[in-house]
Copies of this chain bind each other. A is one copy, B any other.
Amino acid sequence: MHVVRSREQARRARAGLGSVGFVPTMGFLHDGHLSLVEVAGRGHDAVAVSIFVNPTQFGPGEDFAAYPRDLDRDLAVLESAGVDLVWVPDVADIYPRGAATRVTVDGPIASVLEGASRPGHFDGVATVVTILLGVLAPTGLVLGAKDAQQVTVLRSVVRDLGLDVELIVGPTWREPDGLAMSSRNIYLTEPERAAAPVLRRALAEAEARYAAGLRDAALMRSVVRELVRAEPLAELDYVSVADPDTLAELEWIDDTTQLVDPERKGRGAALVSLAARFGRARLLDNVTLGA
């Protein structure tokens, strides 16, 4: 396993690898990351992983400094997983002195939901991923479904800028009680950890209601909202029932959209997503209906 730091080293190490599935991460890896590594290995000659806690995607007052880090453990885990290349850049490798170029995403897909709660977040994500893709030139970019809006935004960036990479989405990995795996789960106290699976339970209720025929999006939102609000340790930020591509809030969940537009195939009729704070931890989860 090559572990590299500078852009030049990364580019050189990548050059010898054939087709590459690439998993960008902020480190402090869990089984969800490893499932993405496995996805990246399918159909590619090699797997590359980046570990970079990207300062530009954290807002003022967010947890950039506190974000958990454990590089030695991460490298051991990736080595066991058979990863070929790990890029661990310093901030100055990604943003050298004088760097002035930003990739920004206009319009609702980057300004609603996480974009509304975290202004500038997706510009930071779009910029760092464009740089990582520029340097590594991977064949596939593997993203986790848990960060659904990130997937939507980066799908737009890849398409808009004509980047020659296939975007691959890996499923959300969960603890046995349903909590979506996240590096930020480490912030949870014991009672918060016990309360957090309410997010998954609320989304499972949305799936059940959808299966039973519920299509009114406002009603769907209030079903999910009430379930989360019943948990006293959860401080709900938003519940969204939106178009998976535009992230526009829906009035009605239309199962036929994806049948009409072949580009939409498999992306479902609605993305139900939510964010809630449990003490220090801000947690996300989502489910796609009608996929």
Contacts and interface: CB of A to CB of B under 8 A. Distances in A.
Contacts of A110: 100
Interface in A127-147: 130-132, 134-135, 137
Interface residues of A, number: 32
A164 B11 contact: yes
Interface string A148-177: 000000001101111110000000000000
A241 B35 CA distance: 56
Contact of A104 (B102, B157, B164): B102
Nearest to A132: B162
Contacts of A135: 162, 164
B104 A161 contact: no
A70 interface: no
A213 interface: no
Interface in A90-111: 95-96, 98-107, 109-110
A160 B95 CA distance: 7
Contacts of A161: 101, 103, 130-131, 134
B163 A134 contact: yes
A225 interface: no
A49 interface: no
A15 to B, nearest CB: 10
A156 B101 contact: yes
Q: Is the interface of A mostly helix, strand, loop or mixed?
A: mixed
Chain copies in complex: 2
Contact of A134 (B11, B105, B106, B162): B162
Given A131-B162, A164-B134, A100 B96 contact: no
Contacts of A281: none
A126 interface: yes
Nearest to A133: B162
B106 A160 contact: no
A200 interface: no
A107 B100 contact: yes
26 contacts: A7-B162, A11-B162, A11-B164, A95-B160, A96-B159, A96-B160, A98-B156, A98-B246, A99-B159, A100-B110, A100-B160, A101-B103, A101-B104, A101-B105, A101-B106, A101-B126, A101-B156, A101-B157, A101-B161, A102-B104, A103-B104, A131-B160, A134-B161, A134-B162, A134-B163, A135-B162
